[in-house]
């Protein structure tokens, strides 16, 4: 049975090939800890669940869909500026917005394709 071809490491400038479904080579995996940590260890714990539920009750419609004149129920609280582990930015409510899952996935995919790294 054929196997999937290997793909390049997602770290900028690295051409090492990794198995399909893996993002980073062994050399660069430690530089991207957010990719392997659980959601709870990244701050999405019970306190976040409660805060995001209250935020969605106050902001029930997707902000991106409303720009197009559509009224879609928001199901995800999005961090406008990715917090990347910064706890102050994580809890800053002015950095939150209500999105539907489709808009959130689209935004996250766009940001993850061209991530900004700070070393």
Give the pLDDT confidence of 85-118 residue by residue, as tens digits: 788 999 999 999 999 999 999 998 888 766 665 5
Percent residues over pLDDT 90 in the chain? 57
The model's pLDDT over 11-34, given as tens digits with 9 standing for 90+, comes to 888 999 999 888 889 998 888 776
Q: What is the pTM of this model?
A: 0.68
With residues binned 3-state (H G I as helix, E B as strand, rest as coil), the percentages for the chain, rounded to 5, are 40, 10, 50
Both tokens assigned to 15? 């051409």
Taken in order 86, 92, 97, 101, is the CA torsion positive or negative?
Answer: positive
The better pLDDT of the pair 65, 42 is held by 65
Which residues have C-beta within 8 Å of that of residue 82, sequence separation ≥ 6?
111
């Amino acid at each position: 049975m054929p196997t999937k071809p290997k793909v390049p490491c997602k770290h900028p400038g690295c051409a090492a090939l990794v198995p399909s479904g893996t993002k980073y080579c062994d050399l660069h995996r430690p530089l991207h800890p957010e990719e392997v940590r659980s959601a709870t260890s990244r701050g999405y714990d019970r306190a976040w669940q409660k805060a995001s539920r209250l935020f969605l009750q106050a902001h029930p419609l997707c902000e991106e869909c409303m720009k197009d004149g559509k009224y879609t129920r928001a199901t995800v609280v999005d961090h406008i500026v990715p917090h990347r582990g910064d706890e102050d930015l994580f809890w800053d409510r002015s950095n939150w917005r209500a999105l539907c899952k489709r808009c959130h996935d689209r935004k996250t995919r766009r940001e993850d394709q061209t991530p900004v790294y700070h070393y």
